[in-house]
Each structure stands twice: as structure tokens, then as C-alpha cells.
Amino acid sequence: MAKKPSLDPVQEAVRSVFRKNRDVTRNCNRSKNILAHYDMEEPNYSRRMRAVVNLYQQFIDRFAEKYPMSDVEKSFAHTSSLPISTYDRLDDETSFLLGAAIWMLDRIKDAGRMEDACELLPVVTEAYMPDVYDTCYGFDVLAGMLKIIHDRNGADTIASASEPDSVFKKLLDMIPDMNKELAVADFKERFWNWADLYFQGLDQLLAENYKNDQALSRLLKQTKAYDEEHFKPKKSAPLMMMAKAPVAAASSLAATTPLFGKRDPDDPRRQMQDMIDRMERLHKKMEEILDRCSDYQLMAPQVSISDKGRIQEIAGEELTNALCKFPIADPYEICFAVLYMFDQDDDYIWTYGFALAIATRAASMLPWGQNRYDADEDVYDPVKLEPKWYASDYVEDMEVDGAFYDSNLAQIVYEYSGGVLPRTMGRYDRLKPVLKKRGLKPAQIATACALMDVLCEASRTCELDREEDEPAVETEDTIKETSTAEKISGIDTSETVSNDADLAAENERLRKELAQLREQSKKQLYDVGRENRELKEQLRVAAQEKEENVQELADLREIVFNHQLEQEEVEETKISFPCHTKLRAVVFGGHDSWLREIKFKLPDVRFYGATLSSPEIIRKADVVWIQTNAIAHKSFYGIIDLCRRYNKKVRYFKYASAIKCAEQVVEGESAV
């Protein structure tokens, strides 16, 4: 039987590292879909390995000699195969695809193709994206572009090399090739810069560990020599063990050299014990450094959205600041580059530990990348007009009628932009102390407050929303008849058509009017259709809310009934646990013991106890479950209010038993 051809050494080395990390991931979490959760299943698993093999030599050429402690070959494969995160999870947490959508719209607008693009955008009434007000594009445009991006390859995932659909291709073709190439080039430049910074930190930790290892080796030799000099040969047996396991041997040696009576610093046994203690401390310090290395490799790629304090404990303040403030000139461009490089099946984007670090950093820089806007916290109290914006303290820059006139700030803003300032400039001055504490300088505070004043009013612009009468003139014949009637009745009698040229000109004018009226009619029909769709959606939501309220009331009644029972009946479960669920379910409330037990039964459900850290948790959920026997009233009503605002389904656990509650979640999902 012929032997299988051996793999290339690089391929074998990469495969070995990937296989080890995949096995560790599977063993640490027995969840059925844990590998899919981290993009460690086919075809992504093989594509990730191939990308590392293809870039392997470049990493060696760039960093092997520069960072000798880091074992760059192995570290590159190790970091690229760790279960750190995925692009889909990053988008769930930061909505970075919205940044890509805005970048594409900006480039299309710069190319003068916005009108063509809008014809391709679908009508979307609801979109999974942050509550944002963009000064360039309305909700319909942003939501339509975002939907096309999400649906571009039919794979329901960002990490895919599938061919994008025709609509996305048409929009992509509207963007000049130069812009796309520059976006990819910028991403790759940041990629190598970040890898350099990453290995710098890893090399420092491993260099520190190497020093301790050398010190331990020297101390081991000293101890062995001291033992041969001061103790009988039979006492040297533990030192033979010490060469293999310093700490275990040290403990054994300590047991054979007890200290008793008055401690004499010159006593050989005392000297031996001191050396053993130093060896134990060095060994413990080496273990701590290795733990720090492991934490560094896991946390560094996500440092932009992780706990800065923990990274600082691991890598020090200087390196932490360099990682957290890693420079990216245009985060929107990087977000687009991620999409485009997947469509181009570029190796760089598949090296997760390094490419995801760039994507994560860019996502954290987006306006909504850290904290989300909450309309309920945006105080909209009446504010008086601020006189300083209308004081004529500025010289006019042109001479009018031989004299110079003074201008005010509001006039200067209008002169160059055409915009009329809000009459409530100063609404956000209340935030000045807060912004000062966050590190903004006085000039930055003034600018930020002024921008917030303008954007606050612009996002709440009041416009008439009423139906206009249908245009009386709809056809060319009607236009001609109306024009003739006006002339006969004395209207416009000063002008008469005297020759064929005048008739042709008049006919052309009427044709243009007809085209304009048809366009207006088309727009009105579109607006009416959209309003009808919105009304239907509102009716559907209202009916759904009614049904959910009935279900919620029934749940509450059953809870009261079950709590009146002296004890719950214990029944055999028909469901095998752990059980995986498909809906995004979040759970609030519950005692610690209950939470510990139910978490293992429902690995895909997120449990938050009685704490709600962010409204986004509820906004992203499909269903919210509440355990009422261990949750404060204040927390309960806050959660309920958010569920009402985001139209989220609320269910209540009817039992105190973890297994009963787990069954309730599974049965509730199957009933949907």
C-alpha cells in the first residue's frame, strides 16, 4: 500500500497548532456549536489555515530576527487560531458594517452616482442598527445600503468568500477602483504595524521569563554544589530530582533538611533552605509570566473594546496606550476594506488574530463604537436665545456702497453654508463640566457643545406631512386645453404664438411641465404607498403586542398559582440537556445557585442576573425572560420599560427549579 505523501513542513506546523487550539476550544466548552461560534468549522477552518501558510514566510522575514524570544513562526499560527472573536460577533457588538455602508455612500456621492445608487436601494422599514442621525443620508438610505451589505453573498455571515450578488456589484462598480485599492493598501499597512507592536509586547514578556529561567538554572547549579560540599552523598538524591522538577524536588529536599532549634544564619541547612525558597519564588514568577503571556495573546487583538486595566497589568502602561490608541486615519475606510477583502478572498483578512485587531480598533473609533445614544437621557428643556451668536462684532469682508458693515456669527455661518443656526445654541452647555472631566480642552469643549446644539435640532427638524391635492393637469392634451382656455379668457393675452418656431418652443415647455408633473405624481404615489406600509406595520406590531400582553398576563397568573403551592412536583424531563436554542434569549433575575445550574443547560442563552449594564442587551434580544423570585422592583420595571420601547417579547419563569425553567425556554422557542 502506497504511503500518503508527507505535507509541507510549514503546512504541517500550522495544521498542528490549529488542531491543538481547536481541540482545546472544544474541550473547554462542550457546546455543540462552539466551533461554528468561533469560525472553526469548514470551510472557514481550512481557509484560515491556508492564509497562515501563505503569509508564514512574510512574518518570518519581518519579525523572526527582530523578536527572537517570540518564536514568531509558532506565535503567528497560534494567535491566528485562538478562539478570540469573529467578524459577525464584532458587528453584533459595534455595528461596524454601518461604517462600511457610510463609506460606500460617501464614495458613490463623490463620484456623482448617488441618484443611480438610490434606484437600487430597497425600501426598508426596520433595520438592525444603532439609533443614529447622519447629516448626509436619511434612515431609508442607510438602512437600504446596510441591507444590501448584509445580504450581498447569501451566506448570512461576513466571513465568506462567496461571490457577491449583482446589486452589491453594481454599487461597488460606482466606486472608483483607486478608492478601493487605497482602502485595501491602508488596511495592510495597519496590519503590519499592529503585528510589529504585538510581537514587541510578547517579546518583552518572554524576555522577562527567559531571565528568570536563567536565574533558576544558576541557582540550581549553586544548590547542587552546596549540597555536595556540605552534606553527605545520600542527601544528594533530591537534587537529582530537582534537575527535572525544581519545585517538587525543592519540597522534597526541604523535608530532608528540617530547621530546628535556634536558627543560625551560617548553618548549612539554613543556607540550603534559603536557596530552595528562592527557587520556589522564581518558579512561581515564571508561571505568572506565562499566564500573562496567555492573557496577552487572547486580549491584545480585542484591546480596543476590552478592559484597559487588565491589559495594563499584563503589558505595562506604555504598551497598553500604544495598543489602545493604535492610529487609524479613517475607520470607515477600514470597515469597508474588511468587506472588500473578503469578496476578493484576500489572505490577510483570514488571519483572525491580526486582521480582527485592525477591524476591532476601527469599529471602536466609530461614533457609535463605544457608547450608544439614548434619547431618554437627552434632556430637551427650553433654552433662551444666546445673544453672542447675534452680536455684530465681526467685520464684513466686502465693501458695499462704499462702506463696511459689521456681521454676527449667525450671518457668517449662513453666508458660507446657507444654514440657519438653531435659536437655542447653548442647550448642551450643561455638559461642559462632564466633558472637562473626560479630558477635553476648553476649545474642544466649546466646539463639541456647538456641534451638539446644531445636530440636536437638525435631527428633530419639523416638516409638514400632509397629502397634497392631485395635480389637475395630467396629460399633454389637458395642458394644451388649459393653456388655450387661459388665453381665450384674457389670461396671458400679452403673448401670442405667431409662427411655427414659437409653437415648437411652447410645445417643448409644456412637455417639460408634463414630465415634471408626472415625476411629482410618481413621488406622491410612492409616499402614499410607504405610509400604507408603515400603517400596516404599526397594526401588525399592535396586534403582536396585544398577543404578547395576553401571554405575559397568563404567565404572571401561573407564577402566582405556582408560588401558592407548598412544593413543586418533580417530573422527569423529556428534553436532553444541554440544549441549544436559536433565538437570541436573555435572562434577568434568579438566585446564584439557580443561575449556576441553568447556565449549563442552556449554553446559548445569556444570563445577566439582576443587572442591566446596557440597553443594547435588550435591543438585540429576540425574547426576554425574567425570574421574578430574585430581582429588585427597580431593576424589574427598568427592564420592562426597555422591552416596551423596543417591542421585545417578555416571558416569565413559572418555577424555581432550574430544570423546569430550562424546559420552559426550550418549549417556548419551539412554539414560536
Task: Tell me, letter by letter, the H, E, C secondary structure of 336-385.
Answer: HHHHHHHHCCCHHHHCHHHHHHHHHHHHHHCCCCCCCCCHHHCCCCCCCC
Residues 226 and 342 in one domain: no
* Residue 469: per-residue pLDDT: 45
Same structural domain for residues 218 and 299?
A: yes
The predicted structure's pLDDT at residue 495: 47
What are 230's three cell numbers? 556540605
Tally Cβ neighbours within 10 Å of residue 167: 15
Residues 53 and 102 in one domain: no
What pLDDT is stored for residue 638 in this prediction?
84
Instruction: Return the pLDDT at 240.
Output: 41
Q: Quick one: pLDDT at residue 231?
A: 67
Judgement on whether residues 202 and 315 belong to the same structural domain of the protein: yes
Q: How far apart are CA 466 and CA 464, in angstroms?
A: 6
Altogether, the residues listed in the chain come to a count of 672
Per-residue pLDDT at 397 = 55
The pLDDT score that the predictor gives to residue 199 is 92
Assess whether 205 and 293 both reside in one domain: yes
d(CA 672, CA 670): 5
Domain that holds residue 167: 95-184+328-346
Q: Is the residue at 240 inside a domain?
A: yes
Q: Mean pLDDT of successive 10-residue segments in the chain (672 residues)?
A: 63 91 84 84 92 94 90 90 90 91 95 92 81 88 92 84 86 94 95 94 84 80 76 49 47 46 64 80 81 84 78 84 90 95 94 93 89 74 76 66 65 81 82 89 88 82 56 46 44 48 77 75 65 70 64 57 46 76 90 87 88 84 89 83 86 88 88 65
3-state secondary structure of 497: coil
Is 498 within the bounds of a domain?
A: no
The answer to whether 365 and 337 are in contact (CB under 8 A) is no
Q: How many domains does the chain have?
A: 6
Check whether residue 122 and residue 69 sit in a common domain: no
User: Looking at the structure, do residues 433 and 454 belong to the same domain, yes or no?
Assistant: yes
Give CA–CA dist 387/415, Å, rounded.
19
Return d(Cα 373, Cα 455) in angstroms, integer.
13
- Rounded CA-CA distance 85/580 in Å is 20
Confirm whether 610 is domain-assigned.
yes
Residue 286 confidence (pLDDT): 81
The C-alpha angle 372, 373, 374, rounded to 5 degrees, equals: 115
Identify whether residues 550 and 612 lie together within a single domain.
no
Q: Any long-range contacts for 166-175 (C-beta under 8 Å, 24+ apart)?
A: 167/120, 170/120, 171/104, 171/108, 171/117, 171/120, 171/145, 172/104, 172/340, 174/107, 174/108, 174/111, 174/113, 174/116, 174/117, 175/104, 175/107, 175/108, 175/111
Among residues 126, 129, 125, the alpha carbon closest in space to that of 101 is found at 129
Query: DSSP character for 274?
Result: H
Residues 203, 312 within the same domain: yes
Cβ-in-10-Å burial (0-12, 13-18, 19+) of 26 comes to middle
Residues 69 and 103 both lie in one domain = no
Do 304 and 211 share a structural domain? yes
Predicted local distance difference test score (pLDDT) of residue 173: 94
Residues 210 and 305 in one domain: yes
Domain-located, residue 611:
yes
In a domain, 648, yes or no: yes
Is 4 among the domain residues?
Answer: no
Among 119, 123, 121, smallest CA distance to 530 is for 123
Residue 243 maps to a domain: yes
> Residue 23 corresponds to which amino acid?
D
Residue 224 lies in a domain: yes
Amino acid identity of 199? F
